[in-house]
Every structure is written in C-alpha cells, then in structure tokens.
Amino acid sequence: MRSRARSATGMTTRRGFLRRTARTATAMAMAAVASRSSAQQTAQPLISSIDKVVLRHGRDGSGPTWFHPRACLVPGASGATVFMTLQTISGSDYYGPVHWMTTNDLGKNWTDPRPVPALGRVKQSNGSEEGVCDVVPQWHAATQTVLAMGHNVYYSGPRFSADQPPRWPVYSVWCDGLWGPRRKLEWHDPRGAFIYTNNCGQRIVLPNGDMLLALSYGRAKNQPRRVSGAVCSFDGETLAVKQVGEEITHEQDRGLLEPSLVRHGDRFLLTIRAEDNRGYVCASEDGLKWAPKQPWTWEDGEPLAMSTTQQHWLAHSDALFLVYTRRDASNVNVPRWRAPVWIAQVNTQSLRLIRATERVVLPLVGDGVNAPDDVAFSGNFHPVNVSPHEAWVTDGQILPKHGYRGDLLLARIRWKAPDDPWK
C-alpha cells in the first residue's frame, strides 16, 4: 500500500464520501442504461456545432509534438477536472515518457504537461529501454482514483526495436495528487505469450466497481490476434483479471487490434480495428460472450473502407455515436486515410451507421489527393464527455514526412439536447 498520513476522522470521512460517490455513480449508470435503451433509431440532430481548438502548437516547430492525448473527467466538490495523459512522438512508434495535464475550466486553461513518474523509460540489461505507450486514463469513482493504463514497448537507441520482446498492459494509479508505482496486469495464459493488451481501448466501470475491458492477444508474432472481454477487479491500487470470455477471431494479417467498449441499453458493444480495410462491431449481453462480429457499414449495407485505424465510441443519453477515419474522395492518397476524423450516429439495433448524421470532427488540412505528404495524420484520437452540453475528441496530429511535427488538438462537440445522466 502507498503510505499516506491520514487521521482516523479523515479516513472515516473519506470512506463515507467513497460510499456516497459509488452510490451516485451506480445511479447515474442505471439512468444512462434506461435512457439509452429507449433511444429512437432515427437520425436525431443532436450535434449543434463542432469547433477545433489547438491546445499545443508543434506543426510550426515551435514546440514538441504531443501524441496519444486521452482524457477523463474527475468529479470534485469544487467542480470537475478534466485529466489528460499524453506523450511526445519523434519517429515511427517512437514515444517519449508519459505526461499528464489538467484543466478546471473546460479546456480554456491547462496546466503544463508533467511526467508521470512510473510511466517513463526503464533501462534493460541488453541496453534497450522499456517505455509505455497507448495510455488511456479512467476515473474510478468507488476508489476516487484515476487508472492510467497502456502497454509496454521497447526501444533500441533512437528507434522502435524491430524485435519486440513479449508485451503486456502497464498501468499506474493517480490518487490525491500522487502517482503510484508502475504495475503489470498479470494474465498467465499461453494465448498471450507474445502480446496481450488493452492499448488505446475504452473500458467500462461496472456498478460493483469491477472493470470490463477487452484484450487483444497473440501466442506468437505471426499469429493473428484474437479479442476477448475480461472482467477485472480494481481496489484503487491493483488491477486483477477475474474472468476472460470467449474468443473473437479474424485470420487476416495481424487479426484484431485496439478494441473499445461501450455499454448501451442492456448490451455491451465492441468496436475493433482490423487490417482488411474494415472495422468490426459486435454485441454482448455480459461482455464475455459475443454475437458474430460484422463490418461497419452504412444502413444500406455499403461497407466503410477503413485502413487499420481505430474507432471509438461517444455516448449521449439519446443516441450513440462512432468516431472513426475512412476512405473518402478528399483523402485517397493520404496513407491509411488518416484524415479527416469523422463522427456518425449508430443505429443500435442494426449496428450500422446512419449516413445522414455523418459530420467531420477534425478536418483534413491540405490536399489529400495531390499533396498528401503535407496532410497531418490523425487516428489516435479519444472521445470524452465533459459536461451535459459538450463532449470532446482529442487528437495528436503528425507529419511523418516533415519530422513528425504536429499540433495537439481538441474538437468541441456541442449538443442540441443535454446529456441526461449529467442532470
């Protein structure tokens, strides 16, 4: 246990506060489930506006390029804080130590990025370094902590190591302004001998305080990865696997990667990156046993062309949205079609996208047909709800052909109708 001096009275007060917070979080979750289960499957004009904000300049070379920006909301007696983890990038999959920063005024002002002590570089006996990347922070109300989890990665000098040793989830816990030690999520299953990870994935805190996440894993480097749901206990310090569900398989290339979860109505939904120009979605009643996956399509059945990039969920009490990248006439020569970033409402019965609701979240800047090298890539974005009236998508853009320069961006999505669970 981390040592913190607290009086007996303080501990009693805190325990009472934790119990009240846990009850409130459970009530909000139940209200969200009830509201979302009754949502109409029509194209609701819920998005009022989308504005792009530059949080840190890097494209012009005036500062470092910040990448993997992901945020969560931390409630507080004097108002909510938005808590973001991020790290620099200076080459292909070559990241600096994980940092964190916060805002108390909905993104108008931010603290300067500070290193997360436990999520830096660690020297290895062979001269390489073990880093951490793909971190996602998440508020855990029952323990009043932020769980920041990514996975380990190895570097040889100024580059990504071509021969990566086994990899696994790595996390650190923030509480009362202090960071805990670097920890590994243990999973002693031979199916994850080469890699098992929840990198970049959206997770769900269950009403009892357990965590539901999705693992992508492989036994060997050349084996296509599978995905399974996993229920984990979390006591504010240690995350532990309790149960792993059935496998979702895909035999093409590296298989299934970077799965993200959401709860909508009485079902869990999972969106998964793949490498066959498709993204996939499937549904479950318990997060462990899944219906057959299906590719993301429009309502008429036309599939979306997605080139090995992430998709993530943005939930509103009246609808569910997907945030993604895809092929379009404007980006045909941009590698992996990694700009612009789009959003569309999901028909939660058919698990198809409603074409009439599609909007650009972060626009393509430049000419994606004739000058694609000058178009900044997106694709490592993250949605977060920050108030009853506003949600964000954060993204770190990069220009690989121009020294990996890029800006740290935030898209403000304003709702026409408030998000009911916030009332």
Peptide bond into 158 cis (omega under 30): no
Give the separation between CA 336 and CA 333, rounded to whole angstroms: 8
Give the separation between CA 177 and CA 382, rounded to whole angstroms: 23
pLDDT of residue 78: 80
Strands 294-295 and 226-234: unpaired
210 falls in which pLDDT band (50, 70, 90)?
very high
Q: What global pTM score does this model have?
A: 0.89
Q: What is the pLDDT of residues 76-113, one digit of tens each?
A: 878 899 999 999 999 999 999 999 999 999 999 999 99
Residue 62 neighbours by CB distance under 10 Å:
9
Quick one: average pLDDT of 115-127? Answer: 95
Alpha-carbon distance values, 108 to 53, 55, 111, 408, 412 (Å)? 10, 9, 10, 14, 11
Nearest to 296 by CA among 280, 275, 284, 276: 280
Quick one: average pLDDT of 337-350? Answer: 97
Alpha-carbon distance values, 134 to 102, 161, 394 (Å)? 18, 16, 14
Quick one: average pLDDT of 337-361? Answer: 97
Contact predicate 230/240, CB 8 Å: no
Which segments of 283-352 does DSSP mark as H helices, in order?
A: none
Q: How far is CA 176 from the centre of its chain?
A: 23
* Farthest-apart Cα atoms in the chain, separation: 68
Residue 29 has pLDDT above 80, yes or no: no
Paired residues of 273 in beta bridges: 257, 279
pLDDT of residue 201: 98
DSSP 51-104: EEEEEE--TTSSS--EEEEEEEEE--TT--EEEEEEEEEEETTEE---EEEEES
420 falls in which pLDDT band (50, 70, 90)?
confident
Contact predicate 413/361, CB 8 Å: yes
Contact predicate 131/155, CB 8 Å: yes
Identify which has the larger pLDDT, 19 or 51: 51
Residue 145 neighbours by CB distance under 10 Å:
20
Quick one: average pLDDT of 233-257? Answer: 97
Q: What is the pLDDT of residues 160-196, one digit of tens each?
A: 998 899 999 999 999 999 999 999 999 999 999 999 9
pLDDT of residue 289: 98
pLDDT of residue 157: 86
Contact predicate 94/131, CB 8 Å: no
Q: Where are the domains of the chain?
A: 39-57+296-423
Alpha-carbon distance values, 380 to 16, 68, 128, 192, 233 (Å)? 38, 6, 25, 24, 27
Cα torsion 265, 198, 409, 55: sign = positive
Quick one: average pLDDT of 398-408? Answer: 97
Give the separation between CA 280 and CA 297, rounded to whole angstroms: 9
What value does the mean pLDDT of the chain take?
Answer: 91
Give the separation between CA 237 and CA 249, rounded to whole angstroms: 32
Residue 10 has pLDDT above 50, yes or no: no
Per-residue three-class SS string for 204-233:
EECCCCCEEEEEEEECCCCCCEEEEEEEEE
Contact predicate 395/86, CB 8 Å: no
Given 3-state DSSP classes, what are the helix, strand and coil percentages for the chain, each rounded to the nearest 5? Answer: 10, 45, 45
pLDDT of residue 409: 98
Give the separation between CA 147 and CA 141, rounded to whole angstroms: 11
Nearest to 296 by CA among 286, 284, 317, 311: 311
Quick one: average pLDDT of 113-122? Answer: 97
